Amino acid sequence: MNQPAIHIENLSKRYGEGDTAVDALKGVDMTIWPGEVVGLVGPSGSGKSTLLKCLGAVIEPTAGKMQLGGDIVFDQTWKIDDLRVLRRDRIGFVFQAPYLIPFLDVTDNIALLPMLAGVPDVQARERARELLAALDVGHRAKAQVSQLSGGEQQRVAIARALANRPPVILADEPTAPLDSERALNVVRILNRMAGQYQTAIIVVTHDEKIIPTFKRIYHIRDGRTYEEAGEGRPA
């Protein structure tokens, strides 16, 4: 574990120019190691989505440095040519809503990304089945998405995020629509997957049910981050 999965130094993001400019990030520092699940917590408008979008190579930061594994992604200029490939192969996304594809079955919802990345269909489906089993939804592999419960759909969405074995997963309010028990179950799964696949996971959340489970928390306020050791209470 000699390289952080994510390393950010003095990252800033300004939207717009002149009188209407908004400084959404004002020098963020963050280091996350493989296998860690870290919380990112902050009030509305504090810069959480902006930070996640920078990390996910969806928007370009204004200044600072951002590294994924050993590679500099941003350092005053985008260093990696193909950001689409970076997003596909190195970052998994989990959102508040699962956004599964309704006309594909559960297995193919997960296998699609590896297939698009060039993994042969048989292997991609095998990988999907392995992930579904690891997430305790193996018995739903052939079901249609509409036949799953909310918690099952979220587990399938997590399996999809892991399908290309990315070193980083960005989870934006992944437990918001779930009740307490299901929310804690999702956190348990994220922790287990982080350990099993050495994935670094950032969870943006307001969810008071899950905040005490993080070992490390970054608080973000007015575009600046403050690190805190969390309670790390088992989920």
Ligand X SMILES: Nc1ncnc2c1ncn2[C@@H]1O[C@H](COP(=O)(O)OP(=O)(O)OP(=O)(O)O)[C@@H](O)[C@H]1O
In whole angstroms, the minimum distance from the beta carbon of 60 to ligand X comes to: 12
54 touching ligand X, by CB under 6 A: no
Q: Which of 15, 82, 149, 179 binds ligand X (CB under 6 A)?
A: 15
48 touching ligand X, by CB under 6 A: yes
Three-state secondary-structure class, residue 13 = strand
For helices 106-116 and 150-162, what crossing angle results, to 10°?
Answer: 20
Q: Which of 39, 47, 92, 114 binds ligand X (CB under 6 A)?
A: 47
44 touches 222 (CB < 8 A)? no
In whole angstroms, the minimum distance from the beta carbon of 173 to ligand X comes to: 9
Q: How far is the C-alpha of 148 from the C-alpha of 137, rounded, in Å?
A: 10
30 touching ligand X, by CB under 6 A: no
**Among 68, 32, 43, CA closest to 224:** 43
97 touching ligand X, by CB under 6 A: no
In whole angstroms, the minimum distance from the beta carbon of 56 to ligand X comes to: 13
Q: Which of 49, 62, 144, 198 binds ligand X (CB under 6 A)?
A: 49
Q: How far is the C-alpha of 73 from the C-alpha of 6, rounded, in Å?
A: 10
In whole angstroms, the minimum distance from the beta carbon of 48 to ligand X comes to: 4
Question: Bridge-partner residues for 30, per DSSP?
Answer: 8
Q: With respect to ligand X, which residue has the nearer C-beta, 97 or 117?
A: 97
**Among 209, 200, 193, 226, CA closest to 37:** 200
Token look-up 């990030």 returns 25
51 touches 219 (CB < 8 A)? no
164 touches 117 (CB < 8 A)? yes
Specify the stretch interacting with ligand X by CB under 6 A; choose among 45-53, 60-68, 82-90, 175-183.
45-53
CB atoms within 10 A of CB 186: 24
Specify the stretch interacting with ligand X by CB under 6 A; choose among 43-51, 66-74, 114-122, 195-203.
43-51
In whole angstroms, the minimum distance from the beta carbon of 129 to ligand X comes to: 35
In whole angstroms, the minimum distance from the beta carbon of 30 to ligand X comes to: 15
- Residue ranges in contact with ligand X by CB under 6 A: 15-16, 22, 24, 42, 44-50
